Structure 1
Amino acid sequence: MNRPNRRKFITRVAASGIAASATISGTKSSAEVVGANDRVRVAIAGINGRGQVHMGVFGAMKGVEITHLVDPDSRLFASRSAAVERLTGKKPKCVQDIREVLDDPSVDAVSIATPNHWHALMTIWACQAGKDVYVEKPCSHNIIEGRRMVDAAHKHRRIVQHGTQWRSDPQWKAYTTDIRDGKYGKLKTANIQIFRPRKSIGFKEPVPPPRALDYDLWTGPAPLNPYRTNLVHYRWHWMWDYGDGEIANLGAHEFEMVRWAMSASANPKSVVSLGGRYGYEDQAETPNTQLTLYDFGDAKLVCQQRGLHFDKPLKMSIEFHTDEGVIKEGKFYVHGKKEGEVIEGAPVSGLPQDYARDHFQNFIDCVRSRKSADLASDVLDGHRTAAVAHLGNISYRLGREASFSHFPQQLSDNQLAAESFDDMKQHLVDAAGLKLSQASYRLGPTLQFDSSTETFVDSPEANQLLGGHYRPGFELPALTS
């Protein structure tokens, strides 16, 4: 397919050494006010999976118009635009390149449901172009990106909402507020469980990409690897160049809630992560079994992630262990008592009702009011939450193979983490038929993290993984005051 003329122009600009982002900054200097008659005009970027939820929710809102659908895969255009037209009575314009949308002064906001490696660049470009942004979790692909997104939102005075929808649930708000205020004692350890069956992505040979897919544009800032059919769509999640694994995918929701239950000043001070990919061999890179321990100073956080057990449903849970008892499944189990006290109104499991509608509505309300302080989960929340996941992955990626007969001493000071390691081993025996005597796991180093500078202490290797490498024309903009 022929690419738009603007794509060719930006390629020439990039080749001449000028950052492509410079060509799209400031295209809507009057964007402090939304469209005529208080109508908010939204472009949705990424329309294969999660983007369809964006289409349904925005399309059902009064005073919101979906003007554009954006995706490098034009095979999606006919069905997605027809769905929006049926819902709203108006047919959106379909384009492959987000930069066409950013040049349109009538667009007020961009809603991003692309692969992770596009989140930061698209958000920053949109802020520079005077657009507000709703960006799915995790907001960034690495820690430096997240900080750059925060800076861009502040510099350009944009409304940027992070897609951790639990933040818009009043039950979770009350629940975490009580925990933070010490109603059930002082929080000692939070225990996250992310158990989601994920099948193998298999092995696929490189093939030419479909003609209707602009694979160069889909790749964007990432390395231009050979196209394989087990990358597009969705399975990019398990490749480091595009995704961040399950710990950043589903884990973002739970990290956000744990952070909400801690003091506002709580930040990770150290991290150690271990695990591997078990049960099958394939081309995926991220672990399907991972155990991570974080030290937040006054409290610890244990995150258990499992991707096996295909006969079991999704399980996402958070337990809060305090000096007085354990809070789990909507009950408070006081130390020494077998029966738990029911916590009235506590969220028990799963996603809160109307989580998507309320969170998106909060974004639109703030677009109209221009009050970023009213966002349920702003870009700084998103950055801090995504950073927790990135810290775990960095420790894991720097790990070395260890025998299962070797107990990770880094977990010995936390009973829950030590027990979780034993549970992980049993899980692998049961779910993957693993012979522990013949198997190993990757054990990462314990990394000390300085949250004030967002760098690791005395670990040049880890600091190398704080950011990424970007292709010409897709560089991460360096923001200046």
Structure 2
Amino acid sequence: MKQPTRRQFLKHVAASGIATSVTISGTKSSGQVIGANERVRVAIAGINGRGSVHMRGFGAMQDVEISHLVDPDSRLFAPRSAAFERQTGKTPQCVQDIRRVLDDPTVDAVSIATPNHWHALMTIWACQAAKDVYVEKPCSHNIVEGRRMVEAAQKYQRIVQHGTQWRSDPKWKAYTTDIREGKYGKLKTANIQIFRPRKSIGVKTPVPPPRELDFDLWTGPATMNPYRTNLVHYRWHWMWDYGNGEIGNLGAHEFEMARWAMPESAQPKSVVSLGGRYGYEDQADTPNTQLTLYDFGDAQLVCQQRGLHFDKPLKMSIDFHTDAGVVKDGKFYPHGQTKGEKIEGAPASGLPENESRDHLRNFIDCIRSRKREDLASDVLDGHRTAVVAHLGNLSYRLGDQASFRHPPQPLSENQVAAESFDQMKRHLVDAAGVNLANASYRIGPTLQFDATTETFVNHPEANHLLGRTYRPGFQLPTITS
């Protein structure tokens, strides 16, 4: 059965005749339209990094009340509460366990900025408890989780917004619409570049966790590993048990825009990824240098990630190569011309202005209206974007070592990908002093993907990695119709 598009999915839900929610009747969380004078009560889960942005964004809204701050690390409660009180003059409740919030019928929504391995379980629990959800990117830690989130949002009729904030930038919407509709020619290859320095996380021996940190709760559904000081808070991103590397971190933003520039029905058909961890030796798992090629049928997608130029600023960009030229840095370069034609109203590189404020506002507005079709980036969008990141990581993780003396054959037929490999080599020599004659890279198999079933074709090992094993008490719920 062919997968529905986002628009078809939302039309099906709207036409299903199912009541908005009946999980908790008689409360605002039951899905009734909230009155104009009622505040939307939001609990923020994960308050170290991105959660602070959520606090500022929701805290500035007159029709929103932040009811709870949730984090397994109670060391964060005093400074975050103090900042919140300075901003709003109010004191939120601080709890370590999200389940205490989900049991509170006065809470309308949960805003999730936890490590990635908690995103899906917390979202599904919240949907089951009749809460709406804002969940940071990537929405899931693996492909099975993402599909389960979509099912939960549909069954429990919840508003679930994905935290890819570029979707709320009208400039990006107009920009990608013009590309999708062929204004600059037919799209052939979208070329993503993520150049973000990431220093070594070092090598640390296991120690007892701080008494203020409930490490068992922090670990939640993931594998229980010994606590180390280079894990909590941010550096979990570079560990497979908790994070998805840079391709799932910053890559999620650009994958969303690349998908937006393709036909709405476009789905990945195959993927191959290569790279490695260079410049230092530490306890991280994910590559700091990665190059991935995706085939979407009529168009292809290249994602190049570099993490070693510590003297250069962050660069996030997407170039769109068409049969008529290249759309790059807000200009269109027709084939054979070196001077680009400026595109009026084109978005700047990097995250858009007011991206978090507008995206959070859209979420609250949809909670009030109960119109999920008005979400800037709903959970189905988020899942499909996360799938792209997961595919690249799965190919990489299944890879074998290859010598830099031998260029990767799977990339040879795409000029952008082949040139990106040469650029990657120069980057490694320049930034890390890698001797390419003696060095190697990991290259994964070219995986064929069936987007309808969300499984790999004739690759049991890859299919085994579509999900994960969950700890008792933190199993992923099965969503029945």
TM-score, normalisation: structure 1 = 0.94
- Write the deviation string for residues 185-243 of structure 1: whole angstroms up to 9, x where unpaired: 00000000000000000000000000000000000000110000000000000000000
With over 3 angstroms needed to count, the CA separation of the structure-2 counterparts of 1:27 and 1:473, relative to structure 1, is farther
Residue in 2 that maps onto 1:20: none
C-alpha distance in 2, partners of 1:283/1:181? 45
Residue in 1 that maps onto 2:471: 471
Residue in 1 that maps onto 2:6: none
Residue in 1 that maps onto 2:268: 268
Matched, 1:145 2:145: yes
SS of equivalent to 2:309: coil
Matched ranges for 1:283-322 at <5 A: 283-322=283-322
Residue in 1 that maps onto 2:15: none
C-alpha distance in 2, partners of 1:74/1:59? 21
Residue in 2 that maps onto 1:362: 362
Matched ranges for 1:63-78 at <5 A: 63-78=63-78
Tell me the CA shift for residue 40 of structure 1. Answer: 0.1
- Write the deviation string for residues 96-131 of structure 1: whole angstroms up to 9, x where unpaired: 000000000000000000000000000000000000
C-alpha distance in 2, partners of 1:161/1:468? 24
With over 3 angstroms needed to count, the CA separation of the structure-2 counterparts of 1:457 and 1:29, relative to structure 1, is farther
Residue in 1 that maps onto 2:136: 136
C-alpha distance in 2, partners of 1:150/1:126? 13
C-alpha distance in 2, partners of 1:32/1:248? 31
Identity of aligned residues (%): 80
2:193 is aligned with what amino acid?
Answer: Q
SS of equivalent to 2:437: helix
C-alpha distance in 2, partners of 1:367/1:86? 27
Residue in 2 that maps onto 1:16: none
Residue in 1 that maps onto 2:439: 439
SS of equivalent to 2:462: helix
SS of equivalent to 1:437: coil
1:407 is aligned with what amino acid?
Answer: P
Tell me the CA shift for residue 34 of structure 1. Answer: 5.9
Asked if structure 1 preserves the Cα contact closer than 8 Å seen for 2:46 and 2:112, the reply is yes
1:374 is aligned with what amino acid?
Answer: D
SS of equivalent to 1:438: coil
Tell me the CA shift for residue 28 of structure 1. Answer: 5.9
C-alpha distance in 2, partners of 1:38/1:188? 49
TM-score, normalisation: structure 2 = 0.94
Tell me the CA shift for residue 33 of structure 1. Answer: 2.4
SS of equivalent to 1:436: coil
C-alpha distance in 2, partners of 1:397/1:29? 48
Asked if structure 1 preserves the Cα contact closer than 8 Å seen for 2:195 and 2:315, the reply is yes
Give every structure 1 segment of 4 or more consecutive aligned residues whose post-TM-superposition deviation is greater than 6 Å.
none
Asked if structure 2 preserves the Cα contact closer than 8 Å seen for 1:332 and 1:341, the reply is yes
Deviating more after overlay: 121-130 vs 403-412: 403-412
Deviating more after overlay: 343-352 vs 101-110: 343-352
SS of equivalent to 1:319: strand
Residue in 2 that maps onto 1:18: none
Matched ranges for 1:306-345 at <5 A: 306-345=306-345
Asked if structure 2 preserves the Cα contact closer than 8 Å seen for 1:117 and 1:222, the reply is yes
Deviating more after overlay: 293-302 vs 85-94: 85-94
SS of equivalent to 1:434: coil
1:115 is aligned with what amino acid?
Answer: P
Matched, 1:242 2:242: yes
Asked if structure 1 preserves the Cα contact closer than 8 Å seen for 2:33 and 2:369, the reply is no
Structure 2 residues without counterparts, runs of 5 or longer: 1-21
Asked if structure 1 preserves the Cα contact closer than 8 Å seen for 2:34 and 2:368, the reply is no
Asked if structure 2 preserves the Cα contact closer than 8 Å seen for 1:27 and 1:102, the reply is no
SS of equivalent to 1:41: strand
Residue in 1 that maps onto 2:425: 425
Tell me the CA shift for residue 348 of structure 1. Answer: 2.6
Structure 1 residues without counterparts, runs of 5 or longer: 1-24
1:71 is aligned with what amino acid?
Answer: D
Residue in 2 that maps onto 1:4: none
Across the two proteins, how many residue pairs are aligned to each other?
Answer: 457
Asked if structure 2 preserves the Cα contact closer than 8 Å seen for 1:28 and 1:105, the reply is no
Residue in 2 that maps onto 1:10: none
Matched, 1:399 2:385: no
Tell me the CA shift for residue 327 of structure 1. Answer: 0.4
Residue in 1 that maps onto 2:32: 33
C-alpha distance in 2, partners of 1:196/1:468? 29
Residue in 2 that maps onto 1:82: 82
Residue in 2 that maps onto 1:120: 120
Residue in 2 that maps onto 1:225: 225
Residue in 1 that maps onto 2:53: 53
Tell me the CA shift for residue 38 of structure 1. Answer: 2.5
C-alpha distance in 2, partners of 1:90/1:344? 44
C-alpha distance in 2, partners of 1:35/1:110? 16
Tell me the CA shift for residue 291 of structure 1. Answer: 0.2
2:206 is aligned with what amino acid?
Answer: P
CA RMSD of aligned residues (A): 1.0
Residue in 2 that maps onto 1:410: 410
With over 3 angstroms needed to count, the CA separation of the structure-2 counterparts of 1:284 and 1:277, relative to structure 1, is same
Asked if structure 1 preserves the Cα contact closer than 8 Å seen for 2:75 and 2:212, the reply is yes
Residue in 1 that maps onto 2:256: 256
Tell me the CA shift for residue 56 of structure 1. Answer: 0.2
Asked if structure 2 preserves the Cα contact closer than 8 Å seen for 1:28 and 1:130, the reply is no
Asked if structure 2 preserves the Cα contact closer than 8 Å seen for 1:28 and 1:129, the reply is no
C-alpha distance in 2, partners of 1:277/1:34? 50
